[in-house]
Structure 1
Amino acid sequence: MTLHPLRAAALALLAACFAPAALGQAAYPQKRVTLVTHSSPGGGSDVFLRELARHLGPALGVNFAVENVTGGSGAKAMAMVARGKPDGTVFYATTPTYIQTTLLSKPEVGYTALEPVAIVFEDPEVIFTRAEAPFRSLPDVIEHARRNPGKARWGAANPTSLERIALERMSRKMNVKVPVVPHEGGGDLLINVLNGTLDIGVGEVEELKGQLQAGKVRLLAVLSDKRMPLLPQVPTAREQGVDVVVRKFRGLAGPKGVSPEAVKALEAGLRKALATPAYRKSYAESNLVPLMLGHDEAVRFTGEIAADIGQTFRELGITK
């Protein structure tokens, strides 16, 4: 059906009025964007990106695709993004792991080859075990390790992850020797806790949600300063006599020199998405704490976290 010229013009004007630029938000310069993670499907970063894309896509008018590039403790995924075009078509899901991988294994392409563009959330870490395990508290786990030398096994989702360092610190502070078994992602770690290969694992509530709802997993401690609002029954590690706190973040980084136009529009889109009731409900249920630091703040924040991690490694004798 052919529209009358005046009606067609009116519809075009109406569409223009609701375009992002007309609403005070610059239009995103790309229509398709790839979000890359080192996490395996079902892992924390994978879940973060897929849920983010579901809400950020409509806010920006962009089609997002999530790509899982596993291997090398994140080095392969970082290299892929670092070699990408800095035009806003590709971003990497950042966590402290991408800093740790660089400091420990010194890959050809490390975190400094990427440009932080946003820090979106803080993500409290929890220590969990299978529901059938005899452990009811963190002291139970430590006492089991102390009474059964050589038999205890703890797990972390990545060889160079913040989670693994947290468990290494816990074993030293509590004077028990326990091997911390690394995995390539949270999904693999969860399987080995559920089948009894590992006594405990460390992860995010989001990647454990399904098993928690099914009653297959028990939370023993949260590795933050305070208890989580939606899980107030879970004590912190500090409350149980284990002085270990983990500050984990979730953000995005792009290739060096990423387009300022893309960065500005992405930040506006993130703020818009975070304010929507549907996304607020989603990330609150996942116990994610919105932080939302834009480009300049994200660069400073990443530098501070890297300095803290480097100091922790030196204190533990991991690096010189």
Structure 2
Amino acid sequence: MLVKHTNALARSLFAATLGLACAAALPALAQDKIAYPHKVVTLVTHSSPGGGSDVFLRDMTKYLKQVIDADFVVENVSGGSGAKAMAHMAKQKPDGSVFYATTPTYIYTSHMAELSANYTALEPLANFFYDPEVIYTRADAPFKTLKDVLDKAKAGRSAWGAANPGSLERITLEQMKKITGVNAAVVTSEGGGETMINVLNGTLDIAIGEVQELRSQLEGKQVRVLAVLSEAPLALLPGVPTAKDSGIDLAVRKFRGLAGPKGLPPEITKAWDQAIPKLLADPKYKADYEAANLVPAFIAHDDYVKFVDHFAMEQKTLLTEVGVVKKK
């Protein structure tokens, strides 16, 4: 009886110890996530589904919730090259419950039109990545090089595609026209998905976009990349030259970050400044964003505010030079 009693007691003590160990582990697991005042955070993009910012946000949210103690949802507020999304954001509370996916588009749109709310109504939160741009065509197109495209444009009509009138892609194509002296039509849409369709059906000779939004078409051998618009070739695209190697002195760098309504509290910006380096160091997410050729480029809140202000002033001059914005 004593043996049975001792075994029962041992089992009880073991169960109690295991329970205490598990209970102690729960706070430790919770502490791995950064505390946040909202259970749900909405990430807004001006991109239509399948566009670059839409893909970026949806890929990131799978990992972000492992770092910040909240759930994340993506909301598409497309229209007006970001104008509708900025107006929507300006009406939100600056409490950290809603953010907007920033790219150069929201700066260009702000410079190119009189808006009810422009980039100055938003507060840059932080930057995550730089996103290399590429020029691509459909796989069965007659163009093997960027020179082939320019030759067609010089000889007759050529249509080039970009997502959104106020996008970095559109401005880059305008720059390319000015550098090369060709007179191609630059056709814009409300997202990279629509632009892709028009490349695949032959409406557009070429388009400009990010590697991450081309991934499925590249894997399915539906598109061919003619040039990358970075300073150096991309490891993900062996054998594809830069625009500079193709004789066009042009390289661009697209930033990807977040912004909130003006007046974000310090505890919110601090939480994100702590979270983003942890997010970018996640091995699983790193494998995903490297496969999409995203270059990690964390810029913390205070420096990102300065970065965006400087970029906005710099690009206003560029828009005037390429004739998109008239001199006043």
The TM-score, its normalising length taken from structure 1, stands at 0.94
Aligned twin of 1:19: 30
Deviation of the 1:119 alpha carbon: 0.6
Q: 1:62 aligns with which of 70, 73, 76?
A: 70
Candidates 227, 230, 234, aligned match of 1:224: 230
Q: Which amino acid aligns with 1:17?
A: A
Matched ranges for 1:197-208 at <5 A: 197-208=203-214
Q: How much is the aligned-residue C-alpha RMSD, in angstroms?
A: 1.7
- Tell me the CA shift for residue 15 of structure 1: 2.1
The residue type paired with residue 212 of structure 2 is E
CA distance in 2, matches of 1:213, 1:64: 28
Distance 1:177 1:191 in 2: 23
Deviation of the 1:162 alpha carbon: 0.9
Q: Contact 2:162–2:188 (CA<8 Å) still a contact in 1?
A: yes
Structure 1 residue 10 displacement after superposition: 5.5
Partner of 1:91: 99
* Identity among equivalent pairs (%): 54
Give the Cα–Cα distance (whole angstroms) in 2 for the partners of residues 12 and 89 of structure 1: 30
Rg larger in 1 or in 2? 2
- Aligned 8 A contact 2:34 2:275 in 1: no
Deviations 1:264-283 (A, max 9, x none): 11222221111011010000
Distance across 2 between alignment mates of 1:198 and 1:220: 14
SS of match in other structure, 2:67: helix
- Residues 230-284 of structure 1: per-residue CA shift (max 9 Å, x gap): 2131111011111121111100000111122122112222211110110100000
Give the Cα separation in 2 of the matches to 1:194 and 1:26: 44
Partner secondary structure for residue 65 of structure 2: helix
Decide which of 261, 265, 282 is 2:271's aligned counterpart: 265
Q: Distance in 1 between matches of 2:222 and 2:21?
A: 57
How many aligned positions are there?
Answer: 313
1:307 corresponds to: 313
Q: Distance in 1 between matches of 2:265 and 2:37?
A: 9
Offset of residue 178 of structure 1: 0.9
Q: 2:218 aligns with which of 203, 208, 212?
A: 212
Residues 33-84 of structure 1 show CA distances to partners (whole Å, capped at 9, x for unaligned) of: 0000000000000000001111101111211000001101111111112211
1:40 to 48, 51, 59: 48
Instruction: Check the 8 A contact 2:34/2:67 in 1, yes or no.
Output: no
Aligned to 1:136: 144
Gaps spanning 5+ residues in structure 1: where?
Answer: none
8 A Cα contact 2:34 2:69, kept in partner = no
SS at match of 2:316: helix
SS in 2 for 1:119: strand
SS state at 1:209 partner: helix
Cα distance change of structure 1 residues 293 and 147 upon mapping to structure 2, 3 Å threshold:
same
Distance 1:87 1:8, change over 3 A: farther
Unaligned runs of 5+ in 2: 1-14
Quote the Cα distance in structure 2 between the aligned partners of 1:92 and 1:245. 26
Contact 1:103–1:310 (Cα < 8 Å) also in 2: yes
- Aligned twin of 2:11: none
Equivalent residue runs for 1:75-154 within 5 Å: 75-148=83-156, 151-154=157-160
Secondary structure, counterpart of 1:59 in structure 2: coil
Which of 193, 204, 208 is 2:199 aligned to? Answer: 193
Partners of 2:288 and 2:203 in 1: CA distance: 32
